[in-house]
Amino acid sequence: MMLAAALAGLALTPSAVPPGLYDGTIGSLPVRLCMAERHGAYYYRSRLVPIMLSPVEGSSGLFSEGNGSEPSLSLRGAVGEAVIGEWRSGSRRLPVRLRSISFDKGEFEDDPCASKTFQAPRLEGVRIVRSEVVQAGQRVTLTTLDTRGHFPDFSIVSLQLPGAGSAVAQINRRLFEPFRDSEEADWKGCDRGGYWGGGTGASYDVELTLTLATRRWLAVMERGGGFCEGAHPDEWSNPLLFDRRSGAEVELLDWLSTRAVTKERLGEGEDRFYRTLTPAFRAVLMKRYRHDDECTEAVADTEGWSAELRRTGIVFLPSMPHVMQACEEEVLLPWASLGPWLSGEGRSEVAALKAEWR
């Protein structure tokens, strides 16, 4: 009763709302709201899809939803940990009542909108759906992220191999990585990063598809894109090659000799290498590259290329910066042209492949 009386006595002018995380209601509907220094967001607990709040210029405590002027949210003041206000859309008015709650201060510099606490209710009910399909003549289990509509701009699709054994298990662990929480693939962290520092939300789209299956090898193409944080969205194509006997992920560029590829250790004592194509081998690829002059010049100077195993040869794709990604075009080098550039290991593996396909 004392709190209600104090709230009733507040002036009905917007005032600054302390940064933090709040639970409460708009009208009778439960919401969770975050407020940072220059931005905010909220979602209805029944829908769990964030609505961005942008401060109205020249005001204090007045926010518009998205990029428009309405609906809007006027937060009129605070008493202790309580905040009251009004939601407006045309002639409609709904009371807003919020209370401050604690939140996880994680990797995004104490921004409540990028906190795990703001995100947590939206993860409820998120699951992985499995279905049986055939890809590249191989029966596999398709794994799809079902966000129940809580993350409308997020999509993850991958696959799992049938069967048992350590090799299958190792391959399946790698194919499941996009769903995991890790430094390499953390879709939940991407979502949080999209709200950090005034961000307007994130998008994330990853799909792994089996493109070639032989008795010895599995080729998988990983394509992805999205916007997590930073100035530009990201896009990538990452061909993967697996040895079905051992389950190991194999670098296809190692089938080429030192005339074609240069290997540089990433660090002292590291077992990982950075591989670049030599000028001589790039010149061979550029004879088959078809694009405008600006792209041709930029791609010719690009040392970093990925390689994808195909039945007819190896496809090479240049790795370009964001502003030049339109220049990324596949270059197929058939087996006959690859012969002089293969290493001893490469010649042996290619001969075995051709024998299998006869």
DSSP string across 218-274 = EEEEEEEEEE-SSSS-EEEEEEEEEETTT--B--GGGGB-TTTEEEEESSTT-S-EE
Q: Within a 10 A sphere around the Cβ of 212, how many other Cβ atoms?
A: 20
Q: How far is CA 75 from CA 12, 13, 64, 84, 86, in A?
A: 9, 9, 11, 6, 6
Question: Is 60 exceeded by the pLDDT of residue 176?
Answer: yes
Share of the chain above pLDDT 90, in %: 53
Q: How far is CA 167 from CA 23, 139, 179, in A?
A: 48, 17, 20
274-293 residues labelled b (16+ CB within 10 A) or e (exposed): ebbbbeebbebbeeebeeee
Give dist(CA 290, CA 296) in Å, integer.
8
Q: Residue 119 — φ and ψ, nearest 5°?
A: -80, -30
Does residue 321 have a cis peptide bond before it, meaning omega lies within 30 degrees of 0? no
Helical (H) or strand (E) element with 317: strand 313-318
Q: What is the pLDDT of residue 6?
A: 41
Task: Give the model confidence (pLDDT) of 276-309 as tens digits.
Answer: 999 999 999 999 988 777 888 888 888 889 999 9
Question: Is 80 exceeded by the pLDDT of residue 243?
Answer: yes
Strands 234-243 and 217-227: antiparallel
Question: Is 80 exceeded by the pLDDT of residue 355?
Answer: yes
Average pLDDT over residues 322-326: 77
Question: Is 50 exceeded by the pLDDT of residue 93?
Answer: yes
Q: How far is CA 163 from CA 122, 139, 160, 212, in A?
A: 34, 11, 10, 18
Q: What is the pLDDT of residue 319?
A: 86
Residue whose tokens read 């008015």: 93
More confident residue, 212 or 6: 212
Q: What is the pLDDT of residue 109?
A: 67
Give dist(CA 30, CA 44) in Å, integer.
6
Question: Is 90 exceeded by the pLDDT of residue 264?
Answer: no
Give dist(CA 289, CA 276) in Å, integer.
18
CB contact at 8 A, 131 and 214: no
Q: What is the pLDDT of residue 56?
A: 83
Q: What is the pLDDT of residue 169?
A: 97
Question: Is 80 exceeded by the pLDDT of residue 110?
Answer: no
Helical (H) or strand (E) element with 97: strand 92-101
Q: What is the pLDDT of residue 11?
A: 40
Average pLDDT over residues 334-338: 95
Nearest-10 Cα torsion for 267, 270, 272, 277: 40
Question: Is 50 exceeded by the pLDDT of residue 46?
Answer: yes
Strands 62-65 and 51-55: antiparallel
> In which band, very low, low, confident or very high, does the pLDDT at 5 lie, cut at 50, 70 and 90?
very low
Average pLDDT over residues 102-108: 75
Instruction: Return mean pLDDT, the chain.
Output: 86
Give dist(CA 295, CA 326) in Å, integer.
8
Q: How far is CA 79 from CA 65, 140, 200, 222, 251, in A?
A: 24, 58, 29, 52, 61
Q: What is the pLDDT of residue 220?
A: 97
Average pLDDT over residues 187-210: 84
Question: Is 50 exceeded by the pLDDT of residue 13?
Answer: no
If you average pLDDT over each of 26-30, 188-192, 268-272, 301-305, which comes out highest? 26-30
The amino acid at 268? E
Question: Is 60 exceeded by the pLDDT of residue 88?
Answer: yes
Coil/strand/helix, residue 152:
coil
Alpha-carbon torsion 4, 6, 12, 14, what sign? negative
Q: Which residues pair with 154 in a beta bridge?
A: 204
Q: What is the pLDDT of residue 2?
A: 40
Share of the chain above pLDDT 70, in %: 89
Give dist(CA 54, CA 253) in Å, integer.
48
Helix 279-286 vs helix 293-300: crossing angle, to nearest 10: 150
Average pLDDT over residues 120-131: 94
DSSP code for 91: T
